[in-house]
A = this chain, B = another copy of it.
Amino acid sequence: MKAARWHARDDIRVETVPDPTPGPDDVVIRVAYCGICGTDLEEYREGPIWVPVAEPNPLTGKKAPVIMGHEFAGEVVAVGRNVRSFAIGDRVAPDVVLYCGACYWCRRHQVHLCEHMAALGLAGDGGLAEYCAVPAAMCERAPEGVSDAGAALAEPLAVAVRAVRRSRMALGESVAIVGAGAVGLLAMQAARAGGAGEVFVVERSPARKELARQLGASAVLDPTLDDVADELRRVTGGVGPDVVIECAGGPGTWVYATSLVRRGGRVVVIGLNSTPTPINVTQAIVAPEIEVIGSLAHVYDEDFRAAVRLLGDGRVRAEAIISHRIGLDRVVEDGFLRLETAKAETLKIVVNLRG
């Protein structure tokens, strides 16, 4: 089969590799669509971060070269001998994060805190390939009415769902989303589905602003045009939103997010950025008594299941955030490089593996 494999930094190759065979508890998915994520780009340009290069990852048994891709869906074409939950022909979307089952947290049934979690598509072979073998226990059935491309986005939606859950958002609270990229637009819809009173979006790209409006933003604010903090206070009765979800991942954007939230409010940080940014903790966090909450992992728990449900009943329109559908052969040029160079016009790029 054809697959896109990470060999080294700046070296992803589309090449022919053996088809996967299912282990006793696995299904083999004939992949329909696979999304490309900011984490993939980071691994391409700055890796190895998650890809094992010296020793095989203990959970996946794999080291570089590994097949990338951790947002995918497709059809079951083979099942391992122990698999009862799925049959050939089922349409599925897999969660991709494995837990070790042996660390302190796994032994206490808190697998979302697993110290050795490993993602398919980074620490093991993923979905940027014609076929992918995954444990059946990690698969959810793709709901009827959800396209393959939409189902492939259950994974990034689970990231957004997790952030909303970790915000402890109460019914009717106001939420601001900083950054209307793919995850931001999903978080906006997830917050709305979770009962947010109003969801404001902070974004500067005209295309993303327009899409945010179409997908139901209560208002869209542009830091190059508006005094965002002032305007957010104005539309929230003078106080600022109850919850801010930071999805931009720029240097210091999380510090900016703390300046927007109301006194006593919660800032959830999803956006990844490793630039050390200075922050005055007294002024930014202690005096206004806010909470800054990290949100990252979604080892197979309720986040992924909830994401599939929200896709299935139409409360989240994931397919709307797809800006480009490309083929596997040019995944580097049309996928990774476009994500890097045409950021403002690019939202979610999905690769059609049956193209």
Contact with B along A161-202 (1 / 0, CB 8 A): 000001000000000000000000000000000000000000
Interface residue? A224 (CB, 8 A) = no
The answer to whether A279 touches B279, judged by C-beta atoms less than 8 angstroms apart, is yes
Residue from B254, B274, B291, B293 in contact with A283 in the complex, judged by beta carbons closer than 8 Å = B274
The segment from A21-29, A205-213, A294-302 found at the interface with B is A294-302
The answer to whether B273 touches A254, judged by C-beta atoms less than 8 angstroms apart, is no
| Given A239-B104, A239-B105, A294 and B290 contact (CB-CB distance below 8 Å) | yes
Interface residue? A276 (CB, 8 A) = yes
The answer to whether B282 touches A279, judged by C-beta atoms less than 8 angstroms apart, is no
Residues of B within 8 A of A274 (CB): 280, 282-283
| Given A269-B285, A273-B282, A279-B279, A115 and B263 contact (CB-CB distance below 8 Å) | yes
Residue from B276, B281, B297 in contact with A273 in the complex, judged by beta carbons closer than 8 Å = B281
The answer to whether B286 touches A104, judged by C-beta atoms less than 8 angstroms apart, is no
Please, how many angstroms separate the alpha-carbon atoms of A103 and B237 in the complex? 10
Count of chain A residues near B, Cβ 8 A: 42
Residues 286 to 314 of chain A near chain B (Cβ within 8 Å): 286-297
Residues of B within 8 A of A289 (CB): 112-113, 166, 294-297
* Identical copies of this chain, number: 2
Residues of B within 8 A of A239 (CB): 104-105
Interface SS of chain A: loop
| Given A276-B279, A277-B279, A296 and B287 contact (CB-CB distance below 8 Å) | yes
Please, how many angstroms separate the alpha-carbon atoms of A271 and B282 in the complex? 8
Residues 224 to 280 of chain A near chain B (Cβ within 8 Å): 237-239, 254, 262-264, 269-280
Residues of B within 8 A of A113 (CB): 262-264, 289
Please, how many angstroms separate the alpha-carbon atoms of A297 and B290 in the complex? 11
Residues of B within 8 A of A104 (CB): 237-239
Please, how many angstroms separate the alpha-carbon atoms of A104 and B279 in the complex? 27
Residues of B within 8 A of A115 (CB): 263
Name the CB-closest residue of B to A272: B282
Residue from B263, B275, B281, B295 in contact with A280 in the complex, judged by beta carbons closer than 8 Å = B275
Please, how many angstroms separate the alpha-carbon atoms of A290 and B112 in the complex? 13
Residue from B276, B286, B296 in contact with A294 in the complex, judged by beta carbons closer than 8 Å = B286
25 CB-based A-B contacts, threshold 8 Å: A104-B238, A104-B239, A105-B263, A113-B263, A113-B289, A166-B289, A269-B285, A272-B282, A272-B286, A273-B281, A274-B280, A274-B283, A275-B280, A276-B279, A276-B280, A277-B278, A277-B281, A278-B278, A281-B294, A286-B294, A286-B296, A289-B296, A289-B297, A291-B293, A292-B293
Top-5 shortest CB links A-B: A276-B278, A286-B294, A285-B294, A292-B292, A289-B294
